[in-house]
Structure formats: structure tokens, C-alpha cells
Structure 1
Amino acid sequence: MSLVAPVIVHKISGEGLIESPDLLAVEEPLEIRLGFGPVADRQQRPVSVTMRTPGHDEELAMGFLFTEGIIQKPTDIVSCRHCVQDAHKEGNVLRVELHPDVVIDWSRLERNTFTSSSCGLCGKATIDAVMALTPGPIAGNFSVDPAILHALPERVRQTQRAFAYTGGIHAAALFDASGTLLIVREDIGRHNALDKLIGAAFWQNWLPMSEFGIFLSGRIGVELVQKSWRAGVPMLAAVGAPSSLAVQMAKEAHMTLAGFVRDSRFNLYCEPVRILSQISHE
């Protein structure tokens, strides 16, 4: 399935009008189903429907299931593939077969009950719910020079094939202390792009990702800090701004949080010790 779709647009400039071909980011639903239970009594249950850009669907599913605490290691998964019996849905149904020994806590799949801004829970309740899924505050010696962060937006942009055509798609990138990009994933949804990245790292046995940072092409919502904390990421940087609850959660996680990373500047909201060189105060 393509990441982009062709369209004819009417372009207006001043008083002039021309018809022109253009490309849009594809948005399609993905239903994730789980196969679970003992060998003699296998069951199937849909667990999530998300609007995503097709591609790396298996990584999206694995990242989602890991960050929600349903799976812990690659061997928890027997298989992960699109459902052929639902061919009329054109590859938009993915079934993940879990090992018979995996015990599912279904309450953990109620992902938006504590991440929605309208859920009515306080920030403390939100953070407590996430902390129950993590091993605690993030430790480790990962650090980078400010120049590495300054260079990330352009480095990531150069890898964004779908963004180059559409201008309407998000990216999540995994980088090391030298600024090398190890994984880049794109999706129309910010959380989907991050799930794809975490799913790819999960399948390669790179978790916890204590020796890496993640760069995001948009703003930092609390759910993105939640997923990064679950994956053990010590540094989260983004082109956009963080929310107040995202900063609060990052502080609890001892995660370095950098926002407005663009135009050779950025703001640090917590754990600045992971930025190596001295930065002059103005």
C-alpha cells in the first residue's frame, strides 16, 4: 500500500488559478487483533483500531502492545501478519498471535482512559498509571553535545520520503550519541510513528533503549513521553513544544526533554545534565 495518494488541486495565487497534481499522505484504519490462550483453546479479540499511514504495520502493532504492557519480549509473539480472510479490507486488519503462556491484563488496553486531556483525571493519577508499567526512573550515561540536537531536524527531514511529497506526515527517529540515525519511521499520527519506531527496536532486542535518544517532528504530548519512558529512552527531543503534563511526566522519569529543536536553538525542560558542553547564559 502506498504512503501517498494523488489528487488534483486548485491553486490560488493572488487573482490567478491553476489546476495542478498533488500528493496527500494516505490515512487508513488498522485493526489490531490478538490471538491468545492455550493451544487447545485459542481465542481472538480485536484490541485497537487506529488511523495510520500504511507501512510497517507489524512494527506499529508490536510497539503499541509493548508500550501498553501487553507483551514484554519478542518471544511473546508467535506470528504477526495481515488477515487474509479479511481481504476485502485491503490489508487493514493485522492479527498478532501471542505465545500460549502470555497472560493478558485487558485493563491495560484502555489506553486513553488516562492520556486524554478530557478524561477528568489529575496529572498525578496519569503519572501513577504509567509508572506501574515502567521499571522506574531512567538511569544510564547517555549524553549528547548540543550540536547533535541542532543537526537533527535537517538530518531527519532528509530521510522523510513521504513528508517530502506531502508535507503532512510525522516522523520519529532513533539516534545515538554521535547523532547517527538508526531508525526513522513516518506516519500521519505522531503516536503511530513512535509506536512503529519502538516496535522496530523491540523486534531487534534493543529495549530498553538506554543508549539512544528519540527525535520527533511535532509537539510532545504526554502519551509520547509515556511510550518513550516505557521503552527506557533517556532523551526525547522534538521540533515542537511539550505540554505541561509531558514535562511533569518526563521529570518523574528522569528523562531529558528538549523542545523547539529548530533553527539552531532548543529549550531544555528537565535533566539538562545529558547535554554535554557548557552553554552560555544570555
Structure 2
Amino acid sequence: MSKDEEIDSPPSSIAKVKVQKSDSKDISSDSVVVEEPLEIRLKQGDSEEQLGITMRTPGADLELAAGFLWGEGFLSNPSELIQVKVCADRSLTPRQRANVVIAEITQDAPKPPRSIERRFTMTSACGVCGSTNISDLHARGIKKVAPTKHSLSELAGMTALLDGRQAIFSKTGGLHAAALVNPEGKAVYVREDVGRHNAVDKIIGAALMAGDLPLSNWTVVVSGRVGYEIIQKSVAAGVSALVGVSAPTSLAIDLAHEFGLTLMAFARDGKAKQFLPS
């Protein structure tokens, strides 16, 4: 493929690169995960503005945008999301258009509780890039989630639901996965991304667009560390429990307790720790 053709192609989630091992002079190829910017635009009536730019792995971009809007309080009801679409500006190349999505919401959709000025300059790294404190969720009217009906042992085993569902990770070893498990214990939505918070936005966005919100007695499973933002997004969607493969942060534990979400971490080989407030 020529450079011009490459520019005009929609972004892929996997790229081929040349590598040289430290103990060899031979040059070979390897697969790496793609990280590219995605611009999210918000359209409300005749007004359209750039909401933010996030570094993400291409794929499920419409779901990512929808999930982000829900998690940040731009929507209070699924019916307020009119559509999410890829930019159709023909002055841009297909590659450029694929990196811009436009979310259209109704005129009566809520305004976020805090100013959005420069709030949504995002990266693929996990961290607080949106709402930054518990009071934001209370200001939005977010209530405590319903108690999970799953036992701790059932929750601890849910990371196994990611097995065989991480196609990009199996080829690159370089990104995170998130799953939404329904009340019957089935992983209905599984998505991958270089950013763990993006992966969570993708699964919540998928559920939103499918009409599954609120996610009472659903469980989020994440392949890595559990930070505040992962809990925030889950609570906003009504999720009852969250299971992480790695460690939680102190603020994540506090937020989970505040809203009644069951938090399990270090979930490996069918065992996990439930984290309770001190």
C-alpha cells in the first residue's frame, strides 16, 4: 500500500511494524495496537461544537462517543441521544473523516453540572479526565445502584468471560478490555482499547444504543487497574458490581462505597478481593 492510499484508508486497530531483537541482526515484523485521535463533536439543535479529543484504538467509535456522553452527564435518558455518526465532510479524506464522530442530542438534554471549558482534553491513559469528584454525580441526581444478586465467588470468576474475546490483544499484547455481564452471567458486550476508560465507554455506549440502560444487576469486568473514572462511568450507568484484574485506587473504593457498587479486584484464577471502606 502506498503512502497516499494509506492516508485515504480508514484507520485500522492493528499496524504492522519492523522489529529487531536484541540478540539478533535479523529484521522481522510484528503487530502493534493502533493509537489515533478521535474528535468527538456535540450537535444540539443548530449548534455544533468540539467536545473533546481522545486517543483511542479505532473500532466501536460511535459507542465510545455515546458512552462518554452518558458518563459525563450530557444525557439523562437514552431517548435524548438522537444519533451518533461519522463525519461526512467530503473535504476530508476517508481517514480523517473516520477520526471524527458527531453525537446529536435533543434540545432538552441536560447541561453538565460544571463548566466544560477545556475539561475534555483526553488521552488514552487512565485517569480523571472528566468528572473529578463525587459531588458531580450527586449534582446530576445519580442514585445508589441496586445491590448485585451475584455471590462474591460468582463475581470473582467473571474475568474468565474475557478469555477468547480479546482478539486485538492476542495479536498485539498492548491494550485493555472491558465487558458488560448481564444478570444471567453472560458477557453481552466486550470491547478493547488502548485506554481502559475508553473500553468502558465503548461497552456502556453499546448498551445505551441497544436500549439496555439502566444496567441494574449488570457487572463491569475490566482487564486492568480500577481507577476512580472506571467506577464513575459504571455508577452513572447503574451497574451493580465491578470486577478488575488489578488493583483499585483509594478514590475508586470510596466512590464505589458511596453509591453501593460491589467492588472486586485482583480477580485471577477464580479468586478476588472485595474492597470495603475503611
Which TM-score band applies after superposition, normalised by the shorter structure? 0.7 to 0.9
Deviation at 1:148, TM superposition (A): 5.0
Partner of 1:132: 139
Q: Which of 71, 74, 77 is residue 70 of structure 1 equivalent to? A: 74
- Given the superposition, is the C-alpha separation of residues 256 and 240 from structure 1 closer, same or farther in structure 2, using an over 3 Å criterion? same
In structure 1, how many angstroms separate the alpha carbons of the residues matched to 2:229 and 2:20?
A: 37
Name stretches of at least 5 consecutive residues in structure 2 with no aligned partner. Answer: 1-10
Q: Give the superposed CA RMSD.
A: 2.6
TM-score by length of structure 1 reads 0.83
| 1:208–1:96 CA distance, 2 compared to 1 (3 A) | same
Contact 2:66 2:205 in 1 (8 A): yes
User: What's the counterpart of residue 197 of structure 2?
Assistant: 191
Q: How many Å apart are 1:175 and its aligned residue?
A: 1.1
Whichever residue aligns with residue 221 of structure 1, its letter is G
Aligned-pair CA distance for 1:185: 0.8
For 1:203-222, list aligned pairs within 5 A. Answer: 203-222=209-228
User: Once structures 1 and 2 are overlaid, which stretch shifts more, 187-196 or 138-147?
Assistant: 138-147
The aligned residue for residue 262 of structure 2 is 256
Q: Does the C-alpha gap of structure 1 residues 108 and 60 become closer, same or farther in structure 2, counting only changes over 3 Å?
A: farther
Structure with the higher helix share, 1 or 2? 1
Determine if contact 1:73/1:202 at 8 Å carries over to the other structure. no
- Distance in 1, Cα, partners of 2:102 & 2:149: 36
The match for 1:277 is none
Query: Is the CA contact 1:133–1:230 (under 8 Å) kept in the aligned structure 2?
Result: no
Give aligned pairs, total: 259
TM norm structure 2: 0.84
Structure 1 portions without partners, runs of 5+: 120-124, 272-282
Matched, 1:4 2:42: no
User: How far apart are 1:27 and its partner, in Å?
Assistant: 0.6
Query: For the Cα contact (< 8 Å) 2:52–2:120, is it kept in 1?
Result: no
For residues 7-55 of structure 1, give each alpha carbon's deviation from its aligned partner in whole angstroms, at most 9, with x where no partner exists: 111123xx44432211111111011111113xxxx11110110001111
Structure 1 residues 118 and 183, CA gap change in structure 2 (3 angstroms): closer
Q: Which residue of 1 aligns with 2:92?
A: 87
* Displacement of 1:145: 5.3
CA–CA distance in 1 between the matches of 2:20 and 2:148? Answer: 53
Q: CA offsets, 1:179-214, max 9 Å, x none?
A: 321110111101100001101111122111112111
SS in 1 for 2:79: helix
Rate the CA distance shift 1:158–1:75 in 2: closer, same or farther, 3 A.
same
Please give the residue correspondences for 1:49-128 in structure 2 after superposition, counting only pairs within 5 Å: 49-85=53-89, 87-88=92-93, 89-105=96-112, 107=114, 109=116, 110=119, 126-128=133-135
Distance, in Å, in 1 between the alignment partners of 2:182 and 2:113 is 35
Take 1:63 and 1:117, find their aligned partners in 2: how far apart are those partners?
Answer: 16
What percentage of residue pairs aligned between the two structures are identical?
37
For residues 91-118 of structure 1, give each alpha carbon's deviation from its aligned partner in whole angstroms, at most 9, with x where no partner exists.
1111112223335347364368xx9679
- In structure 1, what residue type is equivalent to 2:240? P
In 2, Cα distance between equivalents of 1:136 and 1:164: 38
1:172-187 equivalences in 2 (<5 Å): 172-187=178-193
Q: Counterpart amino acid of 1:131?
A: H
Q: Distance in 2 between matches of 1:80 and 1:118?
A: 22
Q: Secondary structure at the residue paired with 1:78?
A: strand
